[in-house]
Amino acid sequence: METPVAKNGSIFQNPWLQLVLGVVCMAAVANLQYGWTLFVNPMDAKFHWGKPAIQVAFTIFVLTETWLVPIEGWLVDKYGPGIVVFCGGVLCGIAWAINSVADSLPIIYFAAAIGGIGAGAVYGSCVGNALKWFPGRRGLAAGFTAAGFGAGSALTVVPIANMIQSSGFQQAFLVFGIIQGVVVMVAALALRTYRGPTAAAAALAATKPQPVIGTRQSSRDFTPMEILRSPLFWVLYVMFVLMAGGGLTATAQLGPIAKDFGLNSTNVSLLGFTLPTLQFALTVDRLLNGVTRPISGWISDHLGRENTMCVLFAMEAIGIIFLNMYGRDPLLFVILSGTVFFAWGEIFSLFPATCGDAFGSKYAATNAGLLYTAKGTASLLVPLTSMIEAATGSWQTVFFLASGMSAIASLMAIFVLKPMLLKHVTVTRSETASDNRLLNPATAKASG
C-alpha cells in the first residue's frame, strides 16, 4: 500500500504540508510513551504486580520503538513513508486495545512490544521524512516533527486522567488506543516520498539565506554501514544514551516520584489554572518538552548544534539536582519538572539534525534510525532506577546519576563532538573536491 507520489505541482508535494502531517502522526502516538506514567499506579493497585515489574513494559516499549527504527527507516527510504506510518498506526491501536484486556504481565509486555514497533515506525518515518524535505533547515524540521511526539500528549493528559478516575484505566486504554490509531492511519494516506526539489521546495529555499550551520554539513551521503564505522557516530551515540537515560527516567517515573514526594493529594494554582499537582506537571512537562524541540532546532541551525547541546545539557543537569532538592513543594515540582523536560526534549531534534549534517540526506531515515536506537539502550536504565529507589528508600541516588550523565554529555558536546565534527566535514569536503578533479580534469586544469 505505497502512498503514490504526487505530481510536482500537487499540494501533497508541499514541504510544509508534509511537515504538518508528520507532526499530527507523532502527536497521535505520543501517549504510548508520555501517557504511560498515568497508568502505572492504577495497574499496580489493581493487580499488585509491583512498579519495577510494570516498568519493564516501558523498557520493552522503548527498546522495540528504537532498535527497529533502522529497519523501518530502510523501508521508508525504499518504499516511502505512507505505508510504514499506516502500519504503525494499526499496531499502536492494537497495543492499547490489548492493554485494555490484559490481566497478566506477559500480556502487558507483549502489548508493549507491539506498541513499540508501531510507534517506532511512525517516529522514524516522520523524522526521516522531515530531514529529507528540509535539507537546509534540518534542526527546525526535525524539531517541529519531534515536538509532536513531545507535546502531543499534553492535550490528552487531563482527559486520560479523568477517564482513568471515572471509568478505570482499562477503558482509557481502549478508547484512546482506537482514537490514536485511526488518526495516524488517516494522516498516513497523505504522506509523500521526497523525490527532489519541487516548486514549493524551491520557493522555501529562496525565502532567506541558508543557515550558518550549513557550512558544517558533509559534502556526501554516507551509507548506514559507513556510519557504523565512523567514530563520530559512536560519540553521538554515547551522548544520546547519557541524555536519554535521565529523561526517560523522569518520563516513566514522574507519577511514582510525585507519590513518594507526598504530592498525590495536592493541587497547584498557576496562571489562573488549578489542577492536581501530577496532572499539572504532566501537562506543563509535555508542552515544554515539545516547545523546546523546534526552538532549539532553529537556534542550532544558526548557532551550531554543539553549542546548543552544551547549554541545554548543562541546564538539564542543574534542573535535575534542583528537582531533587526542592521538588516536594507542589508549585516547584511543576516548575522544576518542566525545566527538566524542556532541557531534555531537544535531544530529539539536535541529534537527528546533527546526524543529517554529518552523514547526508540520501540515507537520512536509516541513519537517524540507527542513532535513535541509543534511546532504547538508555531505556534499560528505567527498571534499574526503580530497583535503586527500592533499595535506598529514596530517589536521591537516581537524581544524582541522571544529573551527572547530563553534565558529562554537556562537556562532550564542546570538547569532543565539536572538533570531531569539524574534522569530519573538512575531510569529506576535501575528498569530494579531489574526486571532482579526477572526474573533470579539464576543470581541475583551468582552476589550477
Residue 443 lies in a domain: no
167 alpha-carbon distance from chain centroid: 31
Q: What is the pLDDT of residue 439?
A: 54
- Out of 54-58, 129-133, 196-200, pick the least confident: 196-200
Q: What is the pLDDT of residue 441?
A: 55
- The model's pTM is 0.74
Question: Which of 5-19, 214-228, 359-373 has the highest average model confidence (pLDDT)?
Answer: 359-373
- Out of 26-35, 59-68, 71-80, pick the least confident: 71-80
Q: Band of the pLDDT at 420, cuts 50, 70, 90?
A: very high
Q: What is the pLDDT of residue 211?
A: 47
Whole-angstrom CA distances from 116 to 29, 93, 111, 124 are 10, 11, 8, 12
Residue 2 lies in a domain: no
Between 198 and 256, name the one with better pLDDT. Answer: 256
Residue 4 lies in a domain: no
Alpha-carbon Rg of the chain, whole angstroms? 22
**What is the rounded CA–CA span in Å between residue 383 and residue 119?**
21
User: Where does residue 271 fall: left (phi above 0), alpha (psi -120 to 50 degrees), or beta otherwise?
Assistant: left
Q: Band of the pLDDT at 376, cuts 50, 70, 90?
A: confident
pLDDT at 95 over 80: yes
Q: What is the pLDDT of residue 303?
A: 87
Q: Give the model confidence (pLDDT) of 144-184 as tens digits.
A: 888 887 677 777 878 898 999 999 999 999 999 999 999 99
Residue 5 lies in a domain: no
Q: Band of the pLDDT at 6, cuts 50, 70, 90?
A: very low
Backbone angles phi, psi at 192, to 5 degrees: -130, 155
pLDDT at 335 over 80: yes
Residue 130 lies in a domain: yes
Q: Band of the pLDDT at 69, cuts 50, 70, 90?
A: confident
Q: What is the pLDDT of residue 166?
A: 92
Q: Band of the pLDDT at 207, cuts 50, 70, 90?
A: very low
Q: What is the pLDDT of residue 75?
A: 86
Residue 16 lies in a domain: yes
* 409-410-416 Cα angle (round to 5): 75
**What is the rounded CA–CA span in Å between residue 381 and residue 211?**
37
Mean pLDDT of the region 71-92 = 89
CATH number of the domain enclosing 108: 1.20.1250.20
Please list the helix, strand and coil fractions of the chain in percent, rounded to the nearest 5, in that order: 80, 0, 15
Mean pLDDT of the region 333-356 = 90
Q: Band of the pLDDT at 142, cuts 50, 70, 90?
A: confident
What's the distance, Cα to Cα, between the start and end of the chain in Å? 53
Residue 445 lies in a domain: no
- Out of 40-49, 304-313, 438-447, pick the least confident: 438-447
**What is the rounded CA–CA span in Å between residue 380 and residue 384?**
7
**What is the rounded CA–CA span in Å between residue 47 and residue 301?**
48
Mean pLDDT of the region 182-187 = 96
Domain count, the chain: 1
pLDDT mean across residues, the chain: 84
pLDDT at 210 over 50: no
Between 201 and 344, name the one with better pLDDT. Answer: 344
Residue 389 lies in a domain: yes
pLDDT at 7 over 50: no
- Out of 188-192, 306-310, 327-331, 394-398, pick the least confident: 394-398
Mean pLDDT of the region 1-16 = 59
Mean pLDDT of the region 243-257 = 81
Q: What is the pLDDT of residue 213?
A: 46
Between 388 and 181, name the one with better pLDDT. Answer: 181
pLDDT at 2 over 50: no
Domain containing 245: what range? Answer: 11-199+213-427
Outline where 261-380 has alpha helix (H): 277-303, 305-326, 330-345, 347-359, 364-379
